[in-house]
Structure 1
Amino acid sequence: MGGSMQTLVIDIGNTRLCWRHRDGTGEVQSGTASHEAIADVLSDLPCAESIAISSVVPAHEPELEKWLRRTDRPAALWVRSGADLGDRVCTDEPHRTGADRALCALAWGASGEHRSAVIIDAGSAVTVDAVSASGQLLGGWIAPGLGALGAGLRQVAPSLPDPTVVSASSSDPEPRQMLPWASDTKLAIGGGIESLFIGGIQALRDRVQSGLGDGAVTVLTGGDSDLLMQALEPAVLRPGLVLDGLEALLRGAADAQ
């Protein structure tokens, strides 16, 4: 961000908190924490002149509000749903549209790319969204994330082994995505879940791109985005896109003053 303003942006996601601090020289610090460790992270966050917070988990918001008051921080700019971003969100029910989806779209519009995009945020849930060149969220699709697929299978079939401890071993000459079949049960489960995840997201990306046109770029963010890169090439990897959106929001608020 330009100027000398120190900023702090925080995103409360479905399973973890992410934060980024930018000082007056542009130097950046960032980090993540599980929900269980939020209190420890908050106690160590640096000071800032301007703060923005997004949340898709209302249960953790009082903890941050209490922290803001206790540490005499400036009032934060909150984004709890797409409704907080006004006409930037073109879904039927902006108040039911996740803050993370809306902020990813805002970040893309502020990036200066001037192209429409299919933005895929691969976290606990995966969103595959149509975004205009100006950063409006037009709509999209929501699917289970990689971890959620595995957790769902374990819930309905608890006798199956847990595949999360297994990857393609050194005795396997090919990555498991390339194997014609698996001879090990854990590998079969893990490879099946990965293939379902990658193939499903690829199909949703193609569906959204068919509406935006061939000029739309695929943008990946979120914890499992690396796994999707090869299947969705050409794609642009943009880690921390939600935090980028919060920073863009703070820039806009500062410019309006």
Structure 2
Amino acid sequence: MTPFSLPPGNSQIKCVHSFDELVSTRFADGVNALCWQRTLPGDFGEIVQLLGSSGDSSEAITTLDEARLRRLPVSAEGRRAIDQLLADLELLRNHDLDPALNFISGYPRDDEPGPIPTDVFSFHADSAPVEADTFLCTYHGPTSEGVRNDEAQRRVDIPETRSELLKIFGGADNDDFREYLKENCYDLHYAAVSQARPFSFGLGNLWRIAIDYPGSPVPPCIHRAPATLPGQARLLLIS
């Protein structure tokens, strides 16, 4: 696995050296993404290949449980990879989280995206009504991408886009309109500026990223899922 390289000049990311440090470090002073850099043992590609050829993963996103992973006829290296997946799931569950391990061959796209696409391929921020974080780790396949907050603009703040949304809404730019934006998640999606330098989350690294919630001390981490192409399935842990 290729080690994660901290993007030059990006002060929003802090690298940590253990799971305890990952979960205990407070987001502050503009830092809204924590990365636990790891080089993991095992052959995760073997797991993906077996899942893709098994014929019972017709869904674009399949959530994997321990029983299914244990049934896979893997080599010793594949077994090491499975042990790592289960260990990560246990780490997060022991921290009172509800992680999911997903085999992803594709994501649903907006059939009619309108002025603002709201699928996971669009740069976006996660949100919650109470304090929370998002945890992510890509074990195989294309990785998630992030972009600095000062290299992105909320799409609803782009004048042309906002004007089009107002026409669809059919009302004034007031509290009702802002509630309309929130209900449709339009206010969570961003456009990268022309000089933006998106960065990869890398393989094997466990990330904890800030989300949008009332009273958050930092802006949310802006990120997106990678484009999915035939033959490039992902193995992703998310919570």
TM-score by length of 2: 0.28
Task: Pick the structure with more helix per residue.
Answer: 1
Higher relative contact order (CA 8 A, sep 6+): 2
Alignment TM-score, normalising by the size of structure 1: 0.27
